[in-house]
A and B are shown apart, each in its own frame.
Chain A
């Protein structure tokens, strides 16, 4: 799986994830990609080591006199945290399953026209995340972007002016890019898309419905 991923997350995004400075929707994108991509995971863990070095040198603040006892009390009421192991058979990696409440069959799709469906995921309002369903061979309307939009393939593949994207690949679109993604003919395409601004569609009909779609 990992070796087939050609389009990775940027260092800027991985740094912000390691430092803990991304909005929830972008955190979800990074966590989902890292679940599939060992090279980005290694890069993210190297960036966490920067945080570890800073923590080691950040100085100290005296703890309360009874802090150790109080912490032992918290430990005795807490429980050991179980590992969340990779489930190779599912289309949605665990971070997404947590939001959807299951795998693909649990997604509550809403049609957005021309066979394309979406499901908006509940995240904080700083950025938005949604799953996209593009029927095999179908296209998403030609659109530009106001902010940054990341799209990651979870099932199938799509192609646009830039390249072809398959499972785990992330396309980073900014204000420069106007594209029309087309799903491969063989299989329906499912993607995770996150953006920090509403999409800007180029044909007037999608633009009119945009406020109602919350995209």
Chain B
């Protein structure tokens, strides 16, 4: 992996949205040209796929599913994009050989698992919408951006990591209560 990729990867690991937006703008034009040319996607379809590829990449990096990128971030993004396109095109026979070439372990979420769990997840999303700050910020920093409790304490001006952790636990309980208050328990099982 190149030095510039290494720097960018470190910035993404340590950061939040700004770095991922930088990555998005860095590779967007090349990706769109490639996706439109190779898979005959419209501009809008290609943009949508690239945004989803960036999000999948971010989640994989942050969750530690990717601990090393052998070649380049760009290659990895293209591979995720190709995987997402194959889902979108429902494995169009025309591109079958192309998709067989995939070599990366991509960790793109299993769509069947998602759909099975969809209603319950949507209920949680509605509850999150009702949850105020700083809870929403703390939960995002911990579960999505994967910040350490020390970093979260700094971000939300908590006294220390222990205080931030207690805040995070209170926020989860708050979310749980909101979910169970709004929806029947049966919605989850």
A and B bind: no
Residues in B lying within 8 Å of A, measured CB to CB: none
Residues in A lying within 8 Å of B, measured CB to CB: none
